């Protein structure tokens, strides 16, 4: 069965390996409680293909989402109809298929270097390793990446060993296609250049021009699929290193211990004491945020301004959800962000004497109209159909002329009914605003009270004597283009008679580099279930030191150094991640040295205590009984984790998702701590890290760990379930108060 020259033996070996891989993968899928959070992203990107290929490619490598899209299209044709979870099932199926297909080039790669027998045993162990098997039973791009990486590496080794230079074109093409799955697949080009350089040093008979031409052929073939991708996205850098392609709306999700709200958050501080409020904020695409402060009248809110470059029409709104809808629904060429125009009120009873501003929309003129005169509004609504106006209702409340306080600023209206009206705040420095008719009065933001500052995302204020009272401050987070706001009311009270002072805690992190190196090594060891880690290292050393030729030494050492460097660079540059997943490529290309290490250990044990060797075992291989025993022990260590169902982490997520699917409307928005909850619930989700943004969500999902969280009074507890049996955490679903979202006339029609 193990004769390296028999193609029947190769077919039999691959049949056994793939025959074992399939039921193990199906079992892993069946016991899977939740897919990896990355899988939700991949499925979502695949759903957007191929209509928005450029948009997907600018955000993420499009190769794996494209595979998922093709798998879903094929599954839909086979089933005859589409249904919500078909995308998940097809994604799981095609990922498992990629693992099975990857065994083919891996087998022939191991056979090329170390023979069919060692290749078979190495892949048999790989199939039984629990963590690599779990990657194949999840929506992850690890095995599709290994498929292209191993195929290209096998083709490269064949080309260099057989001096078949034309095959380097296939290597480059494979590397380019793999680059679209994971940019790390581009390492194949580097291996090709190193291999050609090694051949040039070992064999002087090969002309330099031949080697140079072969290298250029590899690079050209690599650029063949990569060049269109670079042209579409504008960058060849991996997505992790690219700046955000477009700014997304930033979000302030919490101030201090309290979640963001449309209403001002109230805090109290005695005179002379320091108030520190960390601001939790993020940008949709990870852009850095800067913060500023504006003192505004108590009870007011910012009025946001949008402008249409095509018509010049402006949209003013004080509604946070309408602001978000305009930013997320329309491109900037339709409604461009102009920032905070002024401050007004959203409740008629916020101050005595306020009057509502009506907003109307004309489909024929593609313009908005604003007025505080109800008679003027009614006249416009009664116009004939060819010049119809539609009402958006009252959008905010302002001061009418004659009732304004001293600190109010006029808003002027200018133009005519025929030419169209425009509105502008008086101090906007436009000539028309200065000569227009005063329509109403609003407020502009002033400097914060003395001593109030915000730096490093933390609001600080130590009120002095004489500053007692209520102060409303608008905290503004900006990514350079868009802004997010949260108002706070600071209630300064009398200084207490005595108070204690708590010294700040000091923290220091030491030894981060050794810890990082340990994490990288442990990721590789965990993939090998630790028990196979030592024989893997021993096999690499023994083979490369005593048996491998120069070409094998160069290529395998390059694989080890480059992949270990990639894992380390990712951890240092992008932060902690799952090192086991990123080590899979290196393990797959070097798994064949594991049987070599086991053979060395078996010979050493046999010299100490030989075991009886059955008559059917080859006598030319001493210690073969110990070899099989060691392999059996290693596989026995793997089997419990591989086959036994785990208690299930976060199984409460599925229960919560099922409740949400049955008890919410399809258009409801969920604020979730994990995107998988909204994915399985088949609802739109807003991911938050610490504090949810209740202004944009209909339901809030909170993970409680026994501590009583501060829940706003307007939230209603609807459902709760334990996250899992391992922890005491509880998942709680809250229903937020109706927000009364308003839409622009153009959007609602």
Confirm whether 724 is domain-assigned: yes
Q: What is the pLDDT of residue 3?
A: 44
pLDDT band at residue 466, thresholds of 50, 70 and 90?
confident
Q: What is the pLDDT of residue 740?
A: 46
Q: What is the pLDDT of residue 741?
A: 44
Confirm whether 236 is domain-assigned: no
Confirm whether 637 is domain-assigned: no
**Domain stop point among 447, 472, 493:** 493
Which two structure tokens, joined as six digits, stand for 457? 């995302």
**Domain stop point among 452, 476, 493:** 493
Q: What is the pLDDT of residue 588?
A: 94
pLDDT band at residue 302, thresholds of 50, 70 and 90?
very high
Confirm whether 416 is domain-assigned: yes
Q: Global pTM?
A: 0.73
Q: What is the pLDDT of residue 58?
A: 76
Of 143-157, 405-419, 449-463, the poorest mean pLDDT is in 405-419
Contacts of 527 (CB under 8 A, 6+ apart): 129, 131, 132, 580, 583, 584, 587
By the 10 Å C-beta count (0-12 exposed, 13-18 middle, 19+ buried), 628 is classed as middle
Of 167-181, 185-199, 266-280, 735-749, the poorest mean pLDDT is in 735-749
Higher-pLDDT residue of 384, 89: 89
Q: What is the pLDDT of residue 285?
A: 60
pLDDT at 503 over 50: no
**How many whole angstroms separate alpha carbon 374 and alpha carbon 391?**
12
Confirm whether 75 is domain-assigned: no
pLDDT in tens, 650-689: 788 999 999 999 999 998 989 898 899 999 999 988 887 6
Confirm whether 239 is domain-assigned: no
pLDDT at 748 over 50: no
Closest C-alpha among 38, 95, 99 to residue 72: 95
pLDDT at 9 over 60: yes
Closest C-alpha among 402, 290, 394, 408 to residue 343: 408
Higher-pLDDT residue of 633, 516: 633
Q: What is the pLDDT of residue 260?
A: 80
Rounded percentage of the chain residues whose pLDDT exceeds 90 = 52
Radius of gyration of the chain measured on its C-alpha atoms: 33
Confirm whether 197 is domain-assigned: no
Q: What is the pLDDT of residue 498?
A: 43
pLDDT at 631 over 90: yes
**How many whole angstroms separate alpha carbon 661 and alpha carbon 80?**
24
Q: Which residues pair with 293 in a beta bridge?
A: 475
Closest C-alpha among 86, 58, 390 to residue 248: 58
pLDDT at 344 over 70: yes
**Domain stop point among 469, 493, 517:** 493
Confirm whether 255 is domain-assigned: yes
pLDDT band at residue 421, thresholds of 50, 70 and 90?
confident
pLDDT in tens, 160-213: 999 999 999 999 999 999 999 999 999 999 999 999 999 988 888 888 899 999
Q: What is the pLDDT of residue 573?
A: 60
Q: What is the pLDDT of residue 261?
A: 80
pLDDT at 93 over 60: yes
Contacts of 575 (CB under 8 A, 6+ apart): none
Q: What Å distances lie between residue 88 and 38, 188, 260, CA to CA?
A: 13, 31, 34
Higher-pLDDT residue of 636, 324: 636
Mean per-residue pLDDT of the chain: 85
Average of per-residue pLDDT across 276-304: 86
Average of per-residue pLDDT across 299-309: 91
pLDDT band at residue 112, thresholds of 50, 70 and 90?
very high
Average of per-residue pLDDT across 590-609: 92
Count of domains for the chain: 2
Please, what is the angle between helix 86-114 and helix 142-162, to 10°?
Answer: 30
Residue span of the structural domain in which 412 resides: 251-493
Q: What is the pLDDT of residue 54?
A: 79
Of 132-141, 164-173, 737-746, the poorest mean pLDDT is in 737-746
Q: What is the pLDDT of residue 692?
A: 76
pLDDT at 747 over 50: no
pLDDT in tens, 224-260: 999 988 888 776 666 555 544 444 578 888 888 887 8
Average of per-residue pLDDT across 318-347: 85
Q: What is the pLDDT of residue 414?
A: 84
Beta strands in 263-389 (DSSP E): 265-270, 275-282, 290-296, 301-307, 314-317, 336-344, 355-362, 367-371
Q: What is the pLDDT of residue 746?
A: 45
pLDDT band at residue 568, thresholds of 50, 70 and 90?
confident
Average of per-residue pLDDT across 466-477: 93
Sign for the CA dihedral angle at 404, 406, 411, 412 comes to positive
Of 110-124, 131-145, 340-354, 519-533, the poorest mean pLDDT is in 519-533
């Amino acid at each position: 069965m193990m004769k390296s020259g028999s193609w029947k033996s190769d077919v039999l070996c691959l049949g056994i390996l793939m025959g074992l891989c399939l039921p193990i993968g199906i079992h892993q899928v069946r016991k899977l409680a939740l897919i990896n959070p990355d899988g939700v992203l991949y499925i979502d990107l695949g759903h957007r293909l191929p209509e928005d290929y450029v948009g997907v490619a600018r955000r993420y490598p499009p190769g794996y989402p494209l595979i998922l899209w093709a798998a879903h299209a094929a599954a839909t044709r086979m089933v005859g109809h589409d249904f919500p979870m078909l995308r998940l099932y097809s994604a799981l199926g095609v990922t498992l298929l990629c693992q099975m297909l990857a065994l083919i080039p891996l087998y022939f790669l191991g056979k090329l270097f170390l023979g069919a027998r060692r290749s078979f045993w190495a892949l048999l162990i790989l199939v039984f390793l629990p963590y690599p098997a779990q990657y194949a039973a999840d929506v992850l791009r690890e095995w599709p990446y290994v498929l292209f990486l191993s195929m290209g590496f096998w083709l490269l080794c064949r080309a260099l060993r057989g001096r078949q230079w034309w095959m380097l074109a296939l290597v480059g093409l494979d590397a380019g296609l793999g680059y679209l799955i994971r940019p790390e697949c581009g390492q194949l080009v580097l291996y090709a250049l190193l291999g050609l350089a090694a051949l040039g040093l070992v064999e002087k008979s090969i002309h330099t021009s031949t080697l140079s031409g072969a290298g250029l052929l590899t690079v050209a073939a690599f650029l063949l699929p990569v060049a269109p991708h670079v042209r579409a996205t504008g960058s060849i850098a991996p997505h992790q290193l690219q700046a955000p392609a477009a700014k997304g709306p930033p979000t302030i999700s919490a101030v201090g211990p309290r979640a963001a709200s449309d209403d001002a958050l109230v805090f109290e501080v005695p005179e002379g004491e320091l108030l520190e409020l960390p601001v939790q904020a993020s940008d949709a695409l990870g852009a850095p945020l800067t913060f500023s402060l504006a003192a505004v009248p108590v009870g007011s809110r910012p009025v946001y301004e949008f402008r249409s470059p095509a018509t010049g029409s402006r949209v003013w709104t004080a509604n946070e959800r309408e602001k978000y809808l305009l930013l997320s629904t329309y491109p900037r060429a339709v409604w461009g962000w102009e920032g905070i125009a002024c401050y007004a009120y959203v409740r008629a009873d916020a101050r005595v004497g306020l009057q509502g501003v009506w907003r109307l929309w004309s489909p024929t003129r593609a313009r908005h109209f604003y007025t505080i005169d109800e008679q003027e509004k009614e006249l416009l609504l009664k116009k004939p159909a060819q010049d119809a106006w539609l009402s958006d209702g009252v959008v905010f409340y302002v001061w009418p002329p004659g009732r304004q306080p001293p600190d109010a600023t006029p808003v002027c209206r200018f133009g005519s009914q025929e030419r169209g009206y425009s509105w502008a705040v008086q101090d906007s420095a436009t000539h028309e605003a200065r000569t227009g008719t005063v329509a109403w009065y609003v407020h502009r933001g002033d400097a914060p009270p003395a001593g109030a500052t915000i730096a490093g995302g933390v609001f600080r204020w130590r009120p002095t004597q004489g500053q007692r009272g209520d102060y409303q401050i608008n905290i503004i987070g900006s990514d350079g283009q868009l802004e997010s706001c949260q108002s706070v009311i600071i209630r300064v009270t009398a200084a207490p008679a005595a108070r204690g002072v708590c010294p700040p805690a000091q923290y220091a992190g030491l030894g981060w580099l050794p810890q990082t190196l340990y994490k990288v090594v442990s990721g590789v060891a965990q993939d090998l279930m630790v028990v196979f880690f030592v024989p893997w290292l021993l096999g690499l050393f023994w083979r490369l030191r005593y048996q491998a030729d120069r070409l094998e030494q160069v290529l395998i050492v390059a694989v080890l150094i480059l992949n270990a460097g990639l894992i380390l660079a990712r951890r240092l540059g992008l932060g902690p991640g799952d090192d086991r997943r990123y080590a899979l490529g290196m393990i797959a290309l070097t798994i064949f040295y594991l049987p070599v290490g086991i053979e060395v250990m078996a010979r050493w044990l046999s010299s100490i205590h030989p075991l009886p060797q059955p008559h059917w075992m080859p006598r030319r291989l001493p210690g073969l009984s110990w070899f099989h025993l060691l392999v059996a022990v290693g596989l026995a260590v793997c089997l419990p984790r591989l086959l036994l169902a785990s208690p299930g982490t976060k199984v409460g997520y599925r229960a919560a998702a099922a409740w949400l699917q049955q008890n919410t409307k399809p258009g409801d928005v969920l604020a979730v701590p994990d995107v998988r909850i909204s994915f399985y619930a088949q609802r739109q989700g807003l991911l938050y890290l610490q504090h949810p943004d209740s202004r944009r969500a209909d339901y809030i999902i909170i993970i409680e760990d026994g501590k009583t969280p501060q829940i706003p009074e307007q939230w209603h507890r609807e459902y709760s379930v334990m996250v899992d049996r391992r922890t005491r955490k509880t998942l709680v679903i809250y229903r937020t108060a109706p927000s009364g979202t308003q839409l622009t006339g153009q959007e609602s029609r």
